[in-house]
Amino acid sequence: MHPDLVLQLVLLTLGALSIVVILVMVGGLELLALALMAAGTFFVTHVSIRIGPVLLADLMFIGASVPIVLLALVRPSVRSRAPYWPMLTVLTVLVLGGLLGTFTARYPDASLSALARFALASIVMLLLFTLWQPTSTQTRWLMVAYVAGAVVSAALGFVIRGPAASGNRWIGLALHPNQLGATSYLSAGIVLGLLFTTRSRLQRMVLAAIAVGLFFAVIGTSSRGGLLAFATVVFCFCIALRQWHVLIGAAVVSTVGLMTLGNPFVRTDIAQANQERLERLRSTWAALGDSPFTGAGFENARFSHSLYLDAWQSAGLLGIVFIVGFVAIIGRTFLIAYQRKLPLTAGLASAYVGQLVASAFSPALWDRYLWMVVALLIAQLHHETVGVDQGVVSGSSGIRVEQLARS
């Protein structure tokens, strides 16, 4: 290794250790865990930034796991871990289905490798939240970090684009335009929730501008599924909080955006993309006939470009159980947000309803930014429902302010 590179690595390590020592001295393990989780959440949407074979976000989460585990060992928890178990259960069902399908897979090693990546992206992330049990303030900071990371990637998407053959689609700090579209519409749901839980006029104006910018980023990716998902996010949020004027404003902004940046349904590679997807769907349906009950493992779990078909084809009947359970959990969460008019939960739940719609045309399952939103949704639902049950409501506008004490 070159001496200059060794020196840079040593200095970088010393700098990181210095920051860790300062954080521990100032705020203890709680502050260190929050700082590392927030950093990981910021970079989780930047799937193109790696240090060697490892994503930068993953390094942050690995670092955060140390203080989180130590905190779980040295202090008794007064917050319930029960909210995370239903989602962990349905994810475990899918993993078990994948393991069963591996026995009939053509290449078992490839199936196990893909299954391990899925478990690391989903189950491990939720387990990290289960151990940490972030407070409402910490959860809100993570939401802000997630949105900030998505905004940076979306802003760079104006400059960093895909190949000309595919229409110079915006790509930002993602690996594919569809990933940038996904992080944009997921962040839009969070932004809407934050917009209705802040009293500062300046902050509300900034958040509104961010929501518009994220919509323009989705248009720039020319992702048809992304545009449909974004519309679903806004529509569901407005339904949950009965904000009809926001729905009208969104329709106006959408019209202006489409007129300004062009129609994402018109691309130079649209015919080829449609043909490839049809062929993949036919192949997946044919493969389902070979092992409809046990599945064929995770070897080709992203082949059909449809999460629902891929889950069935990979995990068989247990894959169907996962789909039903997963949709039911998200649907129940949205229903609670609708009934109680919970802004942040409504934003996060609407974001994932949009993701469920997009999943009909997308194989996204391994990307950690998807499961970060699920973890935030579960944490925020618990905070807001506890706050409402305790009667913690502030202001004539109906904005709920949770005042849970940190243990």
184 and 41 in one domain? no
What is the structure's pLDDT at 194?
A: 95
Residue 142 confidence (pLDDT) above 80: yes
What is the mean predicted confidence (pLDDT) over 319-326?
Answer: 94
99 and 25 in one domain? no
What is the structure's pLDDT at 391?
A: 42
Structural domain contains residue 403? no
Please classify residue 244 by burial: count the beta carbons closer than 10 Å to its beta carbon, then call 0-12 exposed, 13-18 middle and 19+ buried.
exposed
Enumerate residues 6+ apart whose C-beta is below 8 A from 115: 95, 98, 99, 102, 297, 298
What is the structure's pLDDT at 404?
A: 31
Does 393 or 217 have the greater pLDDT score? 217
Q: Which of 76, 104, 135 is the last residue of a domain?
A: 76
Q: Are 147 and 184 in contact (CB under 8 A)?
A: no
What is the structure's pLDDT at 4?
A: 54
Distances (CA, A) of 68 to 44, 119, 134, 234: 18, 19, 10, 34
Calculate Rg over the CA atoms of the chain.
21
H or E stretch including 204? helix 201-221
186 and 93 in one domain? yes
What is the mean predicted confidence (pLDDT) over 13-35?
Answer: 64
218 and 158 in one domain? yes
Q: Are 124 and 133 in contact (CB under 8 A)?
A: no
Report percent pLDDT > 90 for the chain: 39
Sequence-ordered alpha helix ranges (H) in 242-305: 244-261, 270-288
Enumerate residues 6+ apart whose C-beta is below 8 A from 175: 47, 48
244 and 97 in one domain? yes
Closest Cα to residue 320, out of 288, 290, 362?
288
Residue 206 confidence (pLDDT) above 70: yes
Structural domain contains residue 13? yes
Does 229 or 6 have the greater pLDDT score? 229
Please tell me the total count of domains within the chain.
2
Range of the domain at 279: 83-389
Structural domain contains residue 132? yes
Structural domain contains residue 406? no
What is the structure's pLDDT at 399?
A: 39
Q: Are 181 and 137 in contact (CB under 8 A)?
A: no
- Which of 52-66, 70-84, 113-127, 354-368 has the weakest average pLDDT? 70-84
